[in-house]
Amino acid sequence: MASKAVEHLLANVPITEGTTLLEVGSGTGLCSEMLAAKGIKVVGVDTSIGMVNAFNAKAEKLGLVDKMKSVQILLTSDKTPQQQLGDLLPAAGFDVAFSHLTFHHVPSIKETLLAVMSCLKEHSGVVAISDFEAELHAPEFHPSNIHGEVQRHGLVVDDLARDMEAVGLQQVKVLRPFKIDKDVESGGSRKFQFILSLGTRP
């Protein structure tokens, strides 16, 4: 899933060596390591210290500490990016903010979008959200014992687009770039549609 998400991010967002990227919900760095290996400068944020430690250990093991670093932060819109990220925030803001399989966990999509958008370069910074789509069988994406840990079973395309536009993002578009086969609790496997939602900071 991570490799597919990164593949379609790179195909749809102008990212080159030296691009600065904020990964929201960076986990253990599955996406970040692929991006950092291409010369992209990645700062990851995650609420789990265990994930952050695993991310930074991976960066050291791969010799990518100058290209990828994670910190334990819950981005909020009531604090400035400088207050939250300090020296990790590029002077003009990040070129791209990317998130994979995180937004179905966040309590408020609008609140998170506002916080993320504030970390981007004005007039050019891109928000890119990769997640599975809310479809009839989307609740099967996660086993039933962790349903209480997610806020929603996938993202509704029209709702996400409206939320992105409501916070001021421009040139909003939602793509359906790939599907994945995933084993499910009831037995067998299901195909899950993934979306990639893009918007630019004004």
Average pLDDT score, the chain: 94
Strand partners of residue 196: 130, 175
The 10s digit of each residue's pLDDT in 49-89 is 999 999 999 999 999 999 999 999 999 888 889 999 999 99
CATH number of the domain at 106, please: 3.40.50.150
- CA distance linking residue 57 with residue 137, whole number of Å: 36
Q: What is the pTM of this model?
A: 0.94
Query: Mean pLDDT per 10-residue run, the chain (202 residues)?
Result: 94 96 97 97 97 98 97 91 93 97 92 96 98 88 77 91 98 96 87 96 97
- Domain that residue 106 falls in: 2-200
Query: How many domains does the chain contain in total?
Result: 1
